[in-house]
Amino acid sequence: MPRRKAPKKWGKLVVFLIVISSIIVLVNRDNSATPKNSTQSSLIKVIEEKIAPNSPPKFSQNSASLFVPYWTLGASGKAYQLPKTAFPSNLETVLYFGIAPTTTGIDKTESGFNNLSDFSQQPAFLVIRMTDEAIISSILNHPEAQSTIIGETIALTKQYGFQGIVLDLEHSVLPTAEVIQQITDLVGNFSEKTRSENLAFAITLYGDTLYRQRPYNLEQLDNSVDEFLIMAYDFHKSYGEPGPNFPLNKGSLYGYDFKTMIEQFSAAIAPEKLTVIFGLYGYDWSVDSQNRPLKPAKSLTLNQIRGKFLTECQFSPCTVYRDDLSAETSVKYTDNTGQKHVVWFEDSTSVAEKVLFLNSKGIQKIGYWAWGYY
């Protein structure tokens, strides 16, 4: 006669009781035989650390960052501060701008590298400046050069005590599939090696990246990047038509605006990974009678603009007004030779209006370009 099986519920209960009894025996044996500071405890700690390693440092919410260009070191001391009326007011991270690559490695002859020893601020990130189109193209086409540059950058980051690296890769070329993939691969390799050293990895992006279809695949980059620093300036270029640094609203005048930019970036990247950088400077265009530029504009820091036009305008006629559409300020004046000029610039007031919009979209991190400009 076949043997009768026990009901399933009793079988499960028996297994459960056996497992519980085993655990109790093991725990009692460990507690009685193994002191807390034993080799076993140390081994458990090592295993826990391997499972959950320390995360690299990140940009804090409700914080502000400040770019410090190498050419400003020594001129204003090291007590870095934000603009007085800026919001938020807490300076969280200083970004040293920075070192630059050649086609064979980090350039150890230029001032950005040589001034590293003069920079002392914590917490801080090291920026690698990749702005030369010819050098960028060569690097993207030579993986061995990339490996050297990445290795040397990480070594300098650790040597000088930086918390992480910011890759400032400014490549203004046609967005071909090849170039997009080259940039994605470079960022991925740079990020992987940087993060393996428990360092944070961030990149800058043009504010008009999506508007002008620049060669950056945000979806793929998002997998490699801890923080995106959005350069919310230079929408109107020095070599183009006069206009705001980056208008808050486009209306019928500007074609694109700050609000649309933020909406687009927020749709592609989590808001908590976005830091929006404001440029505290402007451009002075020499224009004809119809406000068309006669030559590339001259850049002016906010300090220079304040001394030249705001405290007391040095020219006549001279009109200073704030544009409600863009939230930025414009100056129209005629110089001593009779040449007409148009100036546009960002200041703390326009920044404050834009920050209110950022906060409404859940973006709580901002930054400034740059120390010595305001």
Closest CA to 128 of 55, 59, 194, 226: 194
Q: How much is the pLDDT for 60? A: 67
What pLDDT is attached to residue 90? 77
CATH number of the domain located at residue range(s) 63-279+347-369 in this protein:
3.20.20.80
DSSP structure string for 165-224: EEEEE---S---HHHHHHHHHHHHHHHHHHHHTT-EEEEEEETTTTTTT-S--HHHHTTT
Render 55-117 in DSSP notation, one character per residue.
Answer: PPP-PPTTEEEEEEEGGGTTTS-S-----TT-SS--EEEEEEEEE-B-SSSB-SSSHHHHTGG
On whether the CB atoms of residues 242 and 344 are closer than 8 A, the answer is yes
The Cα 337–Cα 216 span in angstroms is: 45
pLDDT at 125: 97
What span, in angstroms and rounded, lies between the C-alpha atoms of 274 and 276? 6
Q: Is the pLDDT of residue 373 over 90?
A: yes
pLDDT tens column, 245-274: 999 999 999 999 999 999 999 999 999 999
* 317 cis-preceded (ω within 30 degrees of 0): yes
For strands 200-206 and 329-334, give the pairing: unpaired
Task: Quote the pLDDT of residue 78.
Answer: 61
Q: Tell if the pTM clears 0.85, that is, is over it.
A: no
Edge to edge, the sheet with strand 318-322 lists 298-301, 281-287, 340-345, 329-334, 318-322
Mean of the pLDDT values across residues 320-346?
Answer: 98
Question: Quick one: CA dihedral 137, 143, 146, 148, positive or negative?
Answer: negative
Q: Is a pLDDT exceeding 80 seen at residue 221?
A: yes
Could you give the CA distance from residue 208 to residue 247 in angstroms, rounded to a whole number? 12
Query: Rounded CA gap, 81 and 78, in Å?
Result: 9
**Dihedral Cα 151, 49, 226, 188, nearest 10 deg:** 40
Model pLDDT for residues 125-158, shown as the tens digit of each residue:
999 999 999 999 999 999 999 999 999 999 999 9
- pLDDT level of residue 53 (50, 70, 90 thresholds): very low
Cα dihedral 343, 348, 349, 354 in deg (nearest 10): 100
pLDDT tens-digit readout, 290-316: 999 999 999 999 999 999 999 999 999
- pLDDT tens digit string along 158-192? 999 999 999 999 999 999 999 999 999 999 999 99
What pLDDT shows up at residue 289? Answer: 95
pLDDT of 199 strictly over 60? yes
| Domain boundaries, given as residue ranges, for the chain | 63-279+347-369
**pLDDT surpasses 70 at 82:** yes
Q: What is the mean pLDDT of residues 240-248?
A: 98
Phi, psi of 327 (to 5 degrees): 75, 0
pLDDT tens-digit profile of 84-96?
755 555 788 999 9
User: Which H helix or E strand runs over 9?
Assistant: helix 8-33
**Residue 277: band (very low, low, confident or very high) from pLDDT cuts 50, 70, 90:** very high
Q: What's the confidence (pLDDT) of residue 25?
A: 41
